[in-house]
Chain A
Amino acid sequence: MNPVQSSHTAKSKLKLSQRAKSKKKKDLQAKDVLLVETHSQFSFAIARTAVAQICRSVGYKKSTHGTLETLTNVAMKYLEATTRLAASFANASNRTEVNLFDLINGIHDLCSVQGFLGGSELHTSNLLKSGALKEIMNFVKYSNEVPFSKPILHETDSGIPKLEKVTDSRSSLCSNKTKCQGFHIPRWLPDFPEERFYKNCGKVLVKERKFGEKLWEHSLEAEHFSCKLDENKGESQIHEINGKEEKDTRIVLGQGRGRVKFRMVKEEEKHADISVNLMNGVCKRRKRVSWNLDKINNCMAVENEDEMSACKRKKFA
């Protein structure tokens, strides 16, 4: 069965004449205790109570089922839209903290649908002279104060989720160090990873290589921290992180290095096809090997041989 039809059958059998009688009317006093399970439900329940109080202050006594929820949804979306606009204005000005002007601009954007006094002169007048702001000031001045009726529970012992700022939960996890360091860092960003993941604590993550080889840059880093390693000689633990081994990369370079010798060896040609026998090393004279298409490989090999023998003589001289 179609799920849409099944839901229709569940809600069906209401005739138009009976609709008015069977309509639920909710009293706007919100006497019932509503148990919620999730964060969003909790915040929505509080918002609905506040909106019901505002409707009551305007003059309404009751509301139909679903209407109050709709108005609450719209009100919260309005609040979110205002704050998002203000945050975007702040970010557009290379700031993370929102100020009064950003908020006024956000309010202007939302009030522009209905319009407000002085809306056409925004580009000439001071933002603080805003008509929308003045309307809010008049509202605060002349309207009756209606505080929230119920206390908001902050404890989670009773099972009701805590309505807390996202920043609060972050600050509980943040160490004091991060707080002191990160005044320029927005609080809503996630924490930094642990120090051992991005700071060299005297040990270098080295992937196992054949025959005990190590990359040149790792050996340089080990030298740099060799003084710190002297202090931590007692800590000789090997940790496995992400499949790599942490090793004590202290390397003592030999003072006397062996002499480096180059030797250019001519490879014998195995194939009869066209191939160029280029020299692997660089001659002192830096003579370029040219490939003459008319000649066959044997002639080419003879030419190179002369140059190579000349190079050998000069090298070992």
Chain B
Amino acid sequence: MNPNHNPQSSDSGRHDDDAALTEFLASLMDYTPTIPDELVEHYLAKSGFQSPDIRLTRLVAVATQKFVAEVAGDALQHCKARQATIPKDKRDRQQKDKRLVLTMEDLTKALHDYGVNVRHQEYFADSPSTGMDPATQDE
């Protein structure tokens, strides 16, 4: 299937990869992903994914957990970067940890890097002229 210039070294490398992968799949049975197996199996059945091997189910759960963790981590970086631009104030520093809030703004920026475009309404108004100055309203 693949061109092998050094058959001996490639065979040993392949054995190492297989061993590492086998060990990883075995360790998946000990590792409990945050997304429960029942939920993953529900979505697997919904998508037509058919496999008797529960290790593949765990692998899907772990892959999804990794994705969510990466997105959340990127959003957290955006949040911290935004707070760093705020003028240094003792009150703000003390409340920094309390203000680690997952906002739509940070999430949108984080998801944009992963190819997911999220758009949400900033606010809703009862008429187009709501919030405008009275002078401009008169005009």
Chain A 260-273 interface mask (CB, 8 Å, partner B; 1/0): 00000000000000
Contact of A8 among B62, B101, B103, B124 (CB under 8 A): B124
Contacts known (A11-B124, A71-B107); A47 close to B35, Cβ less than 8 A: yes
Residues of B contacting A: mostly: helix
Give the interface SS of chain A, mostly helix, strand, loop or mixed.
Answer: helix
Interface residues on B, range: 35 or more
Residues of chain A within 8 A of B40, CB atoms compared: 79
Extra contacts, 12 of them, besides A165-B38, A188-B45 (Cβ < 8 A), are: A9-B126, A46-B36, A60-B72, A60-B76, A79-B40, A83-B44, A83-B60, A114-B115, A139-B66, A140-B24, A140-B28, A148-B35
Stretch at the interface among A30-38, A91-99, A212-220: A91-99
A87 to B72, CA, bound (A): 28
Contact of B100 among A59, A135, A143 (CB under 8 A): A59
B23-65 vs A, Cβ < 8 Å mask (1 yes, 0 no): 0110110011111101111111111111110001001101111
Chain A residue numbers with a CB within 8 Å of B116 are: 74
Known A-B contacts A58-B73, A103-B59; A80 and B47 likewise in contact (beta carbons under 8 Å): yes
Instruction: Determine the distance from Cα of A113 to Cα of B113 in the docked complex, in whole angstroms.
Output: 8
CB-CB under 8 A from A188, the residues of chain B are 45, 48, 50
Say yes or no: is A224 at the interface (Cβ < 8 Å to chain B): no
Q: A107-B63, A114-B114 are in contact. Are A60 and B100 (CB under 8 A)?
A: yes
The answer to whether B2 has its CB under 8 Å from any CB of chain A is yes
Query: What mask results when residues 106 to 141 of chain A are scored 1 for a CB within 8 Å of chain B, else 0?
Result: 010000011000000000111011000101110110
Query: Does B104 sit within 8 A of A, measured CB to CB?
Result: yes
Given contacts A46-B39, A165-B41, contact A140 B62 (CB under 8 A): yes
Bound: A164/B76 CA distance, A: 34
